[in-house]
């Protein structure tokens, strides 16, 4: 287990709680601003990955850690899209999201680019 193991586990637990709440309560479980799921959720998962992969030290993740981090990020992306009335089964890699974050420097843009929600005019 990497030094990030406990943080990854906490993110995964929180993401699962959020996804369960959305599945049970629907849009009534949505925050006032759906992008909170990006900033306070998916963005935290993606940033942890970026943090571990930059700064001259490549922190190795176990397969289970990488899967948990990816699952957490995807759970929050699903919550985000459901708050917009879109049922999406997210299957993105955390690396893909990290590359977009480094390119755009904005987690809201990352969420939109990955999910297509909301659609661009």
Q: How far apart are CA 76 and CA 44, in angstroms?
A: 10
Residue-wise pLDDT tens digits, 74-112: 999 999 999 999 999 999 999 999 999 999 999 999 999
pLDDT of residue 81: 97
Of 51, 48, 54, 110, the C-alpha closest to 80 is: 110
Farthest-apart Cα atoms in the chain, separation = 44
Residue 4: band (very low, low, confident or very high) from pLDDT cuts 50, 70, 90: very high
Q: How far apart are CA 67 and CA 82, in angstroms?
A: 22
Per-domain residue ranges of the chain: 5-115
pLDDT of residue 112: 97
pLDDT of residue 59: 87
Residue 121: band (very low, low, confident or very high) from pLDDT cuts 50, 70, 90: low
């Amino acid at each position: 287990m990497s030094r990030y193991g406990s943080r990854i586990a906490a993110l995964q637990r929180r993401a699962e709680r959020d996804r369960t709440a959305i599945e049970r309560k629907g849009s009534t479980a949505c925050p006032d601003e759906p992008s909170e799921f990006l900033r306070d959720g998916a963005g935290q998962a993606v940033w942890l990955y970026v943090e571990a992969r930059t700064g001259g030290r490549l922190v190795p993740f176990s397969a289970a850690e990488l899967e948990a981090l990816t699952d957490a990020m995807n759970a929050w992306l699903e919550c985000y899209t459901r708050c917009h009335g879109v049922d999406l089964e997210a299957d993105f890699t955390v690396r893909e999201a990290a590359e977009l974050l480094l390119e755009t420097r904005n987690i809201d843009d990352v969420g939109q680019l990955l999910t297509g929600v909301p659609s661009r005019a």
